Amino acid sequence: MKPVIFGLAGETLSADERAFFAEAEPAGYILFKRNIVDRAQLRALTDDLRAIHGRDDLLIMIDQEGGRVTRMQSPVWPSFPPGAVFDRLYDVAPSSAIAAARANARAIALTLAEVGITVDALPLLDVRQDGASDIMGDRTLGADPMRVAALGRAVLEGLGEGGVVGIVKHMPGHGRALVDSHLALPVVTANLNALETDIAPFRTLNRAPMGMTAHVVYTEWDADRPASLSPTVIGTIIRQRIGFDGLLMSDDLDMKALKGGIPELAAGVVAAGCDLALNCFGKMDDMVGIVESLPEISALSKARLDRAMASVARGTDQPPLAELLATRDQLLEPVAA
């Protein structure tokens, strides 16, 4: 098994993809809007991926946050609100906000599990900061670390109850970035005391099954390398200070925050301490190069992967989706537009 998550080119697997994935055996896959038509097509696609590997618990992930980051869209699937909605409700009714976040996440999980998706890149634990790039903005759960952790825990619990593994992101915190890491490399110059605020939610939820790194330079920790490529940030900050021992993946290698060839970046993030490299675009040349550049997955990373995928119960009785959505909407009424 190679320590990488690959994207797919289209709505079905090509013959070349099928043969390549069978030989390369990546740790998992990520899906985007380009891969999605409807329930039947999406379930057939995920079933095809499982059949290649013979693994019912195959890591098949998606970014289904709600709001502006939504891959499975209406009218086929329900609409889900962004994180900021639960932050607003917390201002007036904290317990209701936590319950609404849990119900919403469980509803998301049910829609994913129905089509064979096993992992969601949620929750964001990035602490929102005034004046920062809007790339986080309303996706975040707030500006107070305790609130972010409380709501983030509810999201993790809701996803798990629905049979889907959650990912805490973007470690060790993207909330201060002044530019969008999809477009350029953010450099955070905050002092160590300020950075403690950013890592606080991750420390609180350091037993989460999966985490994702940020393509951000933190000058107080490593002035030369973004977190995803920094052994110092991964080893000293994420693994030791935060205390996270779950499966750690990089953010997407194709983002413009990183410079260099995609295969070299994949090797770099794994060498720096990420368990898995994330490559989203589904370009065959890049994927072939990544497989050639990467070692086999380490025993420790494989154990983390197996533990994460076994952390949720699948196939259990679930409440109706409509009931979860109604519960969420009732709780959100005080802040409804």
Q: How far apart are CA 185 and CA 257, in angstroms?
A: 4
AA identity, residue 335: V
**Contact residues for 287 (Cβ-Cβ < 8 A; gap 6+):** 6, 20, 24, 279
Backbone angles phi, psi at 184, to 5 degrees: -160, 170
Question: Which of 210, 51, 208 has its CA nearest to residue 116?
Answer: 51
Distances in whole angstroms, Cα of residue 272 to Cα of each of 19, 140, 177, 236, 268: 30, 27, 21, 11, 6
By three-state DSSP, how is residue 174 classified?
coil
Q: How far apart are CA 90 and CA 335, in angstroms?
A: 10
Q: What are 70's strand-pairing partners?
A: 64
Is residue 182 part of the annotated active site? The answer reads: yes
Is residue 215 part of the annotated active site? The answer reads: no
Backbone angles phi, psi at 9, to 5 degrees: -75, -35
**Catalytic residue (choose from 87, 126, 198, 251):** 251
**Catalytic residue (choose from 138, 144, 180, 182):** 182
Which positions are annotated as active-site residues?
182, 251
